[in-house]
Amino acid sequence: MAKADYYTLLGVSRDASDQELKRAYKKLAMKYHPDRNQGNKDAEKKFKEVSEAYEVLSDQNKRQAYDQFGHEGLDQRFGQGGGFQGGSFNDIFGDVFGDIFGGGSRSQNRARRGADLEYRIEISLEDAIKGKEIKISVPRRVTCKSCNGTGAKNGTALKTCNHCNGQGQVRVSQGFFSVQQTCPVCKGKGQVIEENCPDCSGSGFIQETKKLAVKIPAGVDNGDQIRLSGEGEGGPNNGVSGDLFVSVSVKPHKFFQRDGDDILCEVPISFTSATLGDKIVLPTLEGKVELTVPAGTQSGRAFRIKNKGVKSVRSSYKGDLYCKVNIETPVNLTKEQKELLNKLDESFSKSKSKHRPNEKSWLDGIKEFFDKWIIAR
C-alpha cells in the first residue's frame, strides 16, 4: 500500500515554513498521542504517521530528498524504510512543546544525537559518469575525549544544581499561572561542573578536521548526496554522532551536456559533407566512434548513438548519446569559389522542388497566407 504524502498528513502546503510544520505537528500529536487515546489503534497509527512526517520534513536534508524523489528517495538515501517509532508523551513535550511548557524533566541531560553536516564538492562530468574516490577534509565538532563529553576536568565530579535541586526545571509564576522553565544555571542538565575540562573549556566538545575518503559512485548528477553515517558532529552528553552528507555539483563541460541519463553534443560539418554524405569521427566520454552522415542531411538533425550515455546510479539502465549536426557556412571565399557557387545555385534554381524541398514548401505556404489575407481584406 502506497504511503500517504507527508504534507497532506500534516495538513500543510509544500512550501510550509519550519514554524508552520511545528504548529501543525503539535496540534496533531496532542490529538492522536497513544497516552491520550488508550487502546485506540487508529489513533496510534495516525500518531506514528504524523510523527514520521514531521521527523522527515523538519530535517532539511531529508525534506530536500523527499521533495525531489518522494518516499523512494528517502528509502535510498536515509534508510527510512522501517518507518518511525513514536516515543513517549514526555519525549514529544520535551522536543516539540518545550518552548511552551519548558520540556520534560531534565530532558537536556540525556544523550542526544549530534547534528548532521553538509560538505559540498564540485566534480567534472567525466568523474560523475565514471565514478571516483576523492579526499576531503571536514571541520567538525566532536565529543571531547578527555572528559568524555561531560565538560568536567578529569578526576572531578559533577554536582547537583542548587538552583533547581537537580531537576533541570524551575517553576516561575506569571500572574495567575505557574509554568516550568529550563533552569538558567544548569541549562536543564540538573548538574553543574565544579572545574572545567582544560581541553574543551567545559563545553564537552572540541573542534577537529577529519580527513575522509569519499567514493563517488558512477552516474551521480547535480544535487545528489552521499551519506557517510556517523561522520557528522558529536552528540551532546556523549550521544551518537550525526551524519555527513556530501552534496555533488557537476562542472559544465566544454563539449557535452547531460540530460538525465543521456548525453547531448553538437558537431559542425561542412555543407559538402551534409550534401554528399560523409563519415565523421565523434568524441564520446568512452572514446571515439564513427558516425555516418547520409547525403542530404539538414542542419539541426540529431543522430542517436545507443548506450553511449550515462549508466544510471539507481539501476542498470544506460542512456544514449545524441549528436546534433550544424552545417557550417563557408566564409572568406575566393572569387573563383564564389563563381562556382553562383553556377551551382543557378543549376539548383531550375528545379527547386527537387533540390530545395523545404524552401519551396515554405514559399508556397507564405504565398497561400498572403493570398488569404488579401481576400479577407
Give the pLDDT confidence of 266-312 residue by residue, as tens digits: 999 998 999 999 999 988 888 889 999 999 999 999 999 999 999 88
Res 106 pLDDT > 50: no
The answer to whether residue 119 is domain-embedded is: no
Report the pLDDT averaged over residues 175-183: 73
**Torsions phi, psi for 302 (to 5 deg):** -105, 135
Within 13 Å, how many C-alpha atoms sit on residue 71's CB side?
Answer: 12
Give 52 or 78, the one with higher predicted confidence: 52
Instruction: Give the pLDDT confidence score for residue 283 in this predicted structure.
Output: 83
**Do residues 343 and 258 both lie within one domain?**
no
**Do residues 30 and 73 both lie within one domain?**
yes
| Measured distance CA(89)–CA(34) in Å, rounded | 8
Instruction: Give the pLDDT confidence score for residue 75 in this predicted structure.
Output: 61
Instruction: Give the pLDDT confidence score for residue 90 in this predicted structure.
Output: 43
Instruction: Give the pLDDT confidence score for residue 257 in this predicted structure.
Output: 93
Per the structure, how many domains does the chain have? 3
The answer to whether residue 222 is domain-embedded is: no
The answer to whether residue 366 is domain-embedded is: yes
Give the pLDDT confidence of 166-176 residue by residue, as tens digits: 888 888 776 55
The answer to whether residue 233 is domain-embedded is: no
**Do residues 279 and 351 both lie within one domain?**
no
**Do residues 320 and 358 both lie within one domain?**
no
The answer to whether residue 133 is domain-embedded is: no
Res 326 pLDDT > 90: yes
| Measured distance CA(182)–CA(105) in Å, rounded | 9
The answer to whether residue 362 is domain-embedded is: yes
Place of cell 516550568: 180
Q: Is 297 helix (H, G, I), strand (E, B) or coil?
A: coil
Provide the pLDDT confidence category of residue 93 given band limits of 50, 70 and 90: very low
**Do residues 6 and 95 both lie within one domain?**
yes
The answer to whether residue 117 is domain-embedded is: no
Instruction: Give the pLDDT confidence score for residue 367 in this predicted structure.
Output: 66
**Do residues 278 and 307 both lie within one domain?**
yes
Give the pLDDT confidence of 127-144 residue by residue, as tens digits: 999 999 999 999 999 989
| Measured distance CA(325)–CA(302) in Å, rounded | 6
**Do residues 9 and 58 both lie within one domain?**
yes
Helix axes 41-57, 60-78, angle to 10 degrees: 110
Residue 334: is it exposed, middle or buried by C-beta count within 10 angstroms (0-12/13-18/19+)? exposed
Which of 14-18, 176-180, 237-241, 361-365 has the least mean pLDDT?
361-365
**Do residues 42 and 8 both lie within one domain?**
yes
Whole-structure pTM over 0.85, yes or no? no
**Do residues 10 and 72 both lie within one domain?**
yes
Instruction: Give the pLDDT confidence score for residue 166 in this predicted structure.
Output: 85
**Do residues 33 and 80 both lie within one domain?**
yes
Instruction: Give the pLDDT confidence score for residue 291 in this predicted structure.
Output: 92
Domain end residue (candidates: 101, 133, 165):
101
Enumerate the β-bridge partners of residue 203. none
Res 147 pLDDT > 50: yes
Instruction: Give the pLDDT confidence score for residue 63 in this predicted structure.
Output: 85
Q: What is the CATH number of the domain that holds 308?
A: 2.60.260.20
Query: Are the CB atoms for 276 and 256 separated by under 8 Å?
Result: no
Provide the pLDDT confidence category of residue 79 given band limits of 50, 70 and 90: low
Query: Are the CB atoms for 164 and 183 separated by under 8 Å?
Result: yes
**Do residues 93 and 26 both lie within one domain?**
yes
Provide the pLDDT confidence category of residue 220 given band limits of 50, 70 and 90: very high
**Do residues 11 and 63 both lie within one domain?**
yes
Domain end residue (candidates: 101, 121, 150):
101
Range of 342's domain?
337-377
* The three three-digit cell numbers of residue 191, written as one number: 548538574
Q: What is the CATH number of the domain that holds 1?
A: 1.10.287.110
Q: Is 151 helix (H, G, I), strand (E, B) or coil?
A: coil
The answer to whether residue 4 is domain-embedded is: yes
